[in-house]
Structure 1
Amino acid sequence: MTEDRTAARDTAHIPVVIVGAGPVGVTAALLLARRGVRSVVLERHRDVYPLPRAVATDDEVRRILQAAGIHEEFAEVARTARGLRLLDARHRVIAEFPRSPHGHHGFPQTSMFDQPELERLLRAALAGRRECELWSGVEVTGVQQEGDDGPVRVTVRRDGSEHELSAGFVLGCDGAGSLTREAVGTVWEDLRFEEHWTVIDVRTSLPVRCWEGVDQVCDPHRPATFMRIGEDRYRWEFRLRDTEQPDPALLRELVAPWTDLSHGADFRVIRQAQYTFRARIADRWRRGRVFLLGDAAHLTPPFVGQGLCTGMRDAHNLTWKLARVLQQGADERLLDTYEHERKPHARQVIRLAVAAGWAMTGGQDGAAALRRAAVGAACRIPGVTGLANRNLSHPLSTGPLTRRSRLGATHCPQPWVHADGTRARLDDVLGDSFALLTAVPLTPSLRAVADGLGARILPVQETGDDGTLAAWLRAGRADAALLRPDRVVLDVVPAGRSDFTGTAAWAPLLSTTSRRIEPPVSAPLLRSTPR
């Protein structure tokens, strides 16, 4: 980006300005672009941060990458993990939690990856979209909203010169030290976890003892985490004692249980950094037209591998709503559902990570041995490991867009289906819109709702899948399910009923200036051929 190009854009109004070009910010830009919303992403670094940070993702985030258009490219650089093992101080297995290579969302439940590779894939996709631009080497110095519903002024500095942008909305994806968070006026709520760890990323051709999953060493004196990331890439994480410095001699001692590290061995440390793992959540995620996403809104210890995942869920939840407001004139109250849905879910994930951290590392208090014994005993109870193996796509909080029912506020599964003579993933067939999955013929009122939302209608008996969708509806005691663009169930037609259950709550928020969604009038099911 040249200085002239920046200056030329100063007076232009930008629908969405995204602060931060990490995975969350760029994914948000791509999801908006697929819905025709223009954005500019501002990033202070001139290139991808070269050192690895996040290394694990789940099947829901793989599905989000599919929505962003890069899942095939990501599959080339990702490695499926077998699951999690808890080890005692002598590296004996306490419990094993396998993860399936075929999760609810159509992808492996756990995948390992290198964050710089993911960021390069995202930026390459961004460069191919005319709806969004990345301005690198730009420091954001101020974010200020004019009134409650006016534009947001974003002040940036590049090469010593300051410029001001006018934005319809600002998404703060600028990390734990977020300047945008200051503009929102939020404060951290401390969820009471703080430990100092060293993280070591290594490339080596040495034989390394591993099981193609994650090892968590439950040792109060030296808790550790180990995982294989790639063909010759590994990560170790160790909790440090107060006075320790991870010098080469200590490093050799730390990794000895996994590999024999002699002097001169092929063992290249890519990154060695010290971190303080914290658990925090912002008390508010929005002020007017400024929103917080990712680490700007929440911080979690890494013990269940959900740091990056939680931020990606933020982007998926907010962007379709923002696009509906900007592109179709929906009520801005729709945007209130972002924090209402995401904040409780993020809090739940953070608390799970904190609980896992205390149980796995044993903490540093007198109850550590009791906790470790309780974990071991619990894992021997039939069914407990199965519960622990469930995905982390918890149902969202009940609200106008998340009606409570057996299926409400949950994600629909994603099987392979057959459409137009080809085999494809369900979401690729449904596209970026709302969708109506039905096991029965449509009533006129259901068809009217689908038309008002621009929803794709898909009779499940015509999908050519393995029966997954029909079985899912039956288990949920539903004849039809209305899916949001993020594939969360918006509403259902209960078995034997003729209409959705909560139209009066969600229809006003989703009604647009071009189309109005009329609540359905009760009518018997028509046994006509579905569209």
Structure 2
Amino acid sequence: MHGTTIDPTAPPGDTDAPYDVVLIGYGPVGQTLAALLGQAGHRVAVLERWPRLYGRARAGHVDHEIMRIFQSLGVAERVARDMFRATKYEFRNAAGETLLTFDWDAEGISGWPSDYFMYQPSVEDELDVAVRALPNVSVHQGWEATEFTQHGDHVEVTVRESVGSRAGNSLPGARTRTFRGRYLVGVDGANSFVRARLGTARSDVGFKETWFVCDLKPKVPLHLGFDNGQVCDPTRPHCLFQLGTRHRRFEFALLPGEDPGRFDDPWAAWELLEPYGITPDRADLVRHAVYTFEAGLAEQWRSGRTLLAGDAAHIMPPFMGQGMCSGIRDAKALAWRLDLVLRGLAADTLLDGYQAERASHVETLIRLSVEAGRVSCTFDPEIAAARDDAFRRGQVPPLPVFPHLHGGFLDTAAEGKAAEVVGRLAPQGRVRSAGRTGRFDDVVGHGWTLLFAPGAACELTAPQVAVLDRIAARVVALGEDPADVDGYYADYFARTGLAAILYRPDFYVFGAAEDAAAAGRAVEALGGALAGTAVVP
């Protein structure tokens, strides 16, 4: 069944042969999920109402974790060519004083620089190439989902051919087609058709601000002095940052009572850009649009054989740059769960923990994004002055700690130093094996991995080995081959006081051990969790 070539140009029929997964939506989250499931050998159908890639930048930031996910798809080096490595993101007041700085100039634990600014269409182009290289994934663009019905062992989706230059409109008499999949995933954006059909409400976190977004392609170098950050000016809060290596973005808050319609005229953009010395002879305005930034979580991410991911499941304002990142984390977290269920290696109940684990992580990022937005989004000069004075006197809370996973599919019975890394990202350093030197995932591979510290002995019983073999987990003992060429892993294991970590395909640590002999207990905990039992000590 797996590996069968699907002809995306095949004429409509009553019902296609069943797929393992049907995806509705082909933005970066849908592309990532399609590629991950396709890599794992599953038959995937992607249904997208737009007849071609959207081609417009929405998100503008990715971090090291997302780059490692892209690395697992074989596209990281290619997308990095059009990315701008971010080193700082600042919040400044109207006088140019720095209120808050996010330092991004370190290397991330995932083996990539901490943060990048990117031009989304460039990323989507590369993801599209990766998806279409997989013969078991078929992409059907220009087909809009109009209905789906859940059955005991599959979901049936009806689509109608879209017409128009960009999409979404169907004429009377348009062709229809039906797809069947063992599971359906809605990755169809903030106005998700799938979420609406499920009748799932979305919570309102209480943040709603309207901003005007302008994307530019400079014709000449632009020397602005301040390149990446928020300008917390109550006369008009705004922000500016790179969009990859070739584009820039400005975002301007609409003032209370301001008519959004006046920003349809591109000259409204040039008027706002003029103080920065940006004129039509210095840059092309490639896009301008009014957006309302909101925050919320879908109340239910799974109903039977239908699941939600990305903006269909959660939305957040852009002030932490984590909206698309969170969706791609959803895709990675859902892909390995679906893989195990589809291969019969875990019960369907494994999917029940997807929302609890991801929603908690996303909810924290939403809260941080909202708080960051409130620093910037004030139009009251007195409130802004009090804010500035509080920052000058240091009477503000410390920068927030980026969240990690709590509970969920983790060894929650871990104790001591092992418990401190459970739910956190596993490291990726450079290693050398068989004469090849590079990042661990490229040289050794990725997926379920039991990693022993340099010099630690691998001590596992036959039943423990059987647990790992069943899910094709790698057991890697660092030493002469693979060798820890930069001492990165030696430093990690020394700092954490651990001898081994067991991490998931999404690179989060499931369990850990303070000595090599205890690594087997983490493996047994994994076996118990996969069997649908409680994680046991």
Fold shared, TM-score > 0.5 on shorter chain: yes
Checking the alignment, whether the CA contact within 8 Å between 1:199 and 1:274 is kept in structure 2 is: yes
The corresponding residue for 1:481 is 501
Question: 1:148-227 residue pairs with structure 2 within 5 A?
Answer: 149-158=152-161, 160-210=174-224, 214-227=228-241
Checking the alignment, whether the CA contact within 8 Å between 1:153 and 1:165 is kept in structure 2 is: yes
> Which is further off, 68-77 or 156-165?
156-165
- Structure 1 residue 8, shift from structure 2 partner: 4.4
AA matched with 2:334: L
- Structure 1 residue 259, shift from structure 2 partner: 2.2
The corresponding residue for 2:165 is none
Take 1:288 and 1:442, find their aligned partners in 2: how far apart are those partners? 41
**Structure 1 residue 70 and structure 2 residue 88: aligned?**
no
- Structure 1 residue 51, shift from structure 2 partner: 2.0
- Structure 1 residue 375, shift from structure 2 partner: 3.6
**Structure 1 residue 122 and structure 2 residue 127: aligned?**
yes
1:68–1:211 Cα change, 3 Å: farther
Tell me the secondary structure at the aligned position of residue 131 of structure 2.
Answer: helix
Tell me the secondary structure at the aligned position of residue 127 of structure 2.
Answer: helix
Take 1:118 and 1:299, find their aligned partners in 2: how far apart are those partners? 20
**Structure 1 residue 357 and structure 2 residue 370: aligned?**
no
Tell me the secondary structure at the aligned position of residue 181 of structure 2.
Answer: strand
Take 1:211 and 1:99, find their aligned partners in 2: how far apart are those partners? 18
Checking the alignment, whether the CA contact within 8 Å between 1:406 and 1:477 is kept in structure 2 is: no
Take 1:255 and 1:331, find their aligned partners in 2: how far apart are those partners? 56
Checking the alignment, whether the CA contact within 8 Å between 2:294 and 2:317 is kept in structure 1 is: yes
1:221–1:289 Cα change, 3 Å: same
1:400–1:136 Cα change, 3 Å: closer
Q: Number of residue pairs matched?
A: 506
1:98–1:62 Cα change, 3 Å: same
Tell me the secondary structure at the aligned position of residue 354 of structure 1.
Answer: helix
> Which is further off, 88-97 or 444-453?
444-453
The corresponding residue for 1:28 is 33
Take 1:496 and 1:503, find their aligned partners in 2: how far apart are those partners? 12
**Structure 1 residue 254 and structure 2 residue 268: aligned?**
no
The corresponding residue for 2:405 is 396
1:55–1:106 Cα change, 3 Å: same
**Structure 1 residue 144 and structure 2 residue 169: aligned?**
no
Identity percentage of aligned residues: 33
Tell me the secondary structure at the aligned position of residue 123 of structure 1.
Answer: helix
* CA deviation string 1:346-400 (max 9, x = no partner): 111111000000013336596443334334443999xx5xx55x6x4x2212134
Checking the alignment, whether the CA contact within 8 Å between 1:396 and 1:402 is kept in structure 2 is: no
Tell me the secondary structure at the aligned position of residue 319 of structure 2.
Answer: coil
1:338–1:347 Cα change, 3 Å: same
Tell me the secondary structure at the aligned position of residue 69 of structure 1.
Answer: coil
Take 1:447 and 1:136, find their aligned partners in 2: how far apart are those partners? 44
Checking the alignment, whether the CA contact within 8 Å between 2:12 and 2:176 is kept in structure 1 is: no
Q: Which runs of 5+ in 2 are unaligned?
A: 1-5, 163-173
Take 2:226 and 2:471, find their aligned partners in 1: how far apart are those partners? 44
> Which is further off, 85-94 or 119-128?
85-94
> Which is further off, 310-319 or 209-218?
209-218
Take 1:227 and 1:117, find their aligned partners in 2: how far apart are those partners? 17
Take 1:2 and 1:323, find their aligned partners in 2: how far apart are those partners? 23
- Structure 1 residue 220, shift from structure 2 partner: 2.2
1:157–1:144 Cα change, 3 Å: same
The corresponding residue for 2:169 is none
**Structure 1 residue 411 and structure 2 residue 425: aligned?**
yes
Q: State the TM-score, normalized to the length of structure 2.
A: 0.87
Take 1:129 and 1:496, find their aligned partners in 2: how far apart are those partners? 39
Checking the alignment, whether the CA contact within 8 Å between 1:482 and 1:491 is kept in structure 2 is: yes
Equivalent of 1:243 in 241, 250, 258: 258
> Which is further off, 47-56 or 268-277?
47-56
**Structure 1 residue 342 and structure 2 residue 358: aligned?**
yes
* CA deviation string 1:393-442 (max 9, x = no partner): x2212134253611101111111111111112112234243111113212
1:125–1:207 Cα change, 3 Å: closer
Question: 1:393-472 residue pairs with structure 2 within 5 A?
Answer: 394-403=403-412, 405-439=419-453, 440-445=456-461, 447-462=465-480, 463-472=483-492
- Structure 1 residue 44, shift from structure 2 partner: 0.7
1:366–1:34 Cα change, 3 Å: same
AA matched with 2:195: R
**Structure 1 residue 103 and structure 2 residue 103: aligned?**
no
Task: Tell me how large the CA RMSD over aligned residues is.
Answer: 2.8
* CA deviation string 1:18-73 (max 9, x = no partner): 00010000110101111111101101111111222111111111111111221121
The corresponding residue for 2:170 is none
Take 2:7 and 2:350, find their aligned partners in 1: how far apart are those partners? 38
Take 2:308 and 2:382, find their aligned partners in 1: how far apart are those partners? 39
AA matched with 2:473: A
> Which is further off, 61-70 or 324-333?
324-333
- Structure 1 residue 458, shift from structure 2 partner: 1.3
Checking the alignment, whether the CA contact within 8 Å between 2:460 and 2:517 is kept in structure 1 is: no
> Which is further off, 457-466 or 281-290?
457-466
* CA deviation string 1:168-200 (max 9, x = no partner): 001100001111112333101001100010000
1:431–1:503 Cα change, 3 Å: closer
Take 2:433 and 2:379, find their aligned partners in 1: how far apart are those partners? 53
